[in-house]
Amino acid sequence: MQRLKRWEEAGYAALAAALSGLFGALVLQPWRGALDVPYVYATDANEYQAAVKGVLDHGWIWHNPSLGAPGRQVSFDYPLLGGDWLNVFAMKALGLFSSDSAVVINVFFLLTFPVIGLTAYLVFRRLRLSAPVAVVCSVLYALLPYHFVRGEGHLVLAAYYAVPLGAYLVLSVLGDRPLFATRRVALGTLALCVVIALASAAYYYAAFTVVLVLAAAVLRAVGTRSWRPLANGGAVAGALVVLSLVTLLPSFVYWAGTGLTRPWLIGPRSSRSSTA
């Protein structure tokens, strides 16, 4: 019976992902254009094209010898994909099948629909919604207007699969659920924090999660007159902050090496170093 339930649950999860991808494709109609032509060729989409091509050609996000003449482009002062290591790994994996940055970005964007539907479904089920209701809600969530408005112009913002996980942590703190009660639960909580911190859309989603988790902890602590929500919320927020700082560690090392004592001031000093 347990195996049957697991297979049934997996089937519903796959259905949520498949329907999200299907309806997303029906809206975008990728078969009407060439996969190697960017869906958006303006504004920030061009910057993502350059960044992803740099990753595919040169390995990672920090250096791009193809840009920044007469030197090479370094991105420590402005790490466009610094808080999105999971997304970068995903695009590098897609790069195993194509070295064309337009193909990789288009496929990545199309895959955000089923991935968002899947994570939303898992969170809805964890919040005790019935499987059919969770499927419907997760598909609707994956097809939010926000997804299409952001699109490839704000590629990593459109990959908001970490947001349901952050919402789950916020609601867990607000509901005083034990997030670190056992080793297994603690590892699960830390795994959620890793995904949120490493797919945070330039630290947006991680920052919002930290703010909302701390607010939920304070509200719950005041309502119950207990310090436990503050401990839970503080641990979650601390993990997210530490993980985010880890992704910025190469920038800290670079700033220390160049003598930049106030790295938050991005101005003429940092722009000169971009071609150093």
Can you give the residue ranges of every domain in the chain?
162-276
Rg, the chain, Cα only: 20
Q: What is the pLDDT of residue 96?
A: 94
Q: 134-144 pLDDT, tens per residue?
A: 999 999 999 99
For all residues of the chain together, what is the average pLDDT? 89
Across 29-35, average pLDDT: 90
Q: What is the pLDDT of residue 136?
A: 97
Residue-wise pLDDT for 248-270, tens only, equals 898 888 888 876 655 444 444 44
CA-CA-CA-CA torsion sign (104, 108, 109, 111): positive
Q: Angle at which helices 44-58 and 101-126 pack, to 10 degrees?
A: 100
Q: Mean per-residue pLDDT for 97-106?
A: 94
Residue closest to 154 by CA, chosen among 61, 268, 40: 40
CA pair distance 211, 34, nearest whole angstrom: 42
Question: Is 276 a residue whose pLDDT tops 50?
Answer: no
So what's the pLDDT on residue 110? 97
Confidence class for position 275, pLDDT limits 50, 70, 90: very low
72 confidence band (pLDDT: 50, 70, 90): confident
Average pLDDT of span 124-147: 96
Report the alpha-carbon distance of residue 141 to residue 157 in Å, rounded. 14
Of residues 82 and 165, more confidently modeled: 165
123-128 own/partner pairs: CB under 8 Å, 24+ apart = 123/164, 123/165, 123/167, 123/168, 124/164, 125/9, 125/12, 126/168, 127/168, 127/171
Average pLDDT over residues 237-242: 96
Backbone angles phi, psi at 117, to 5 degrees: -60, -40
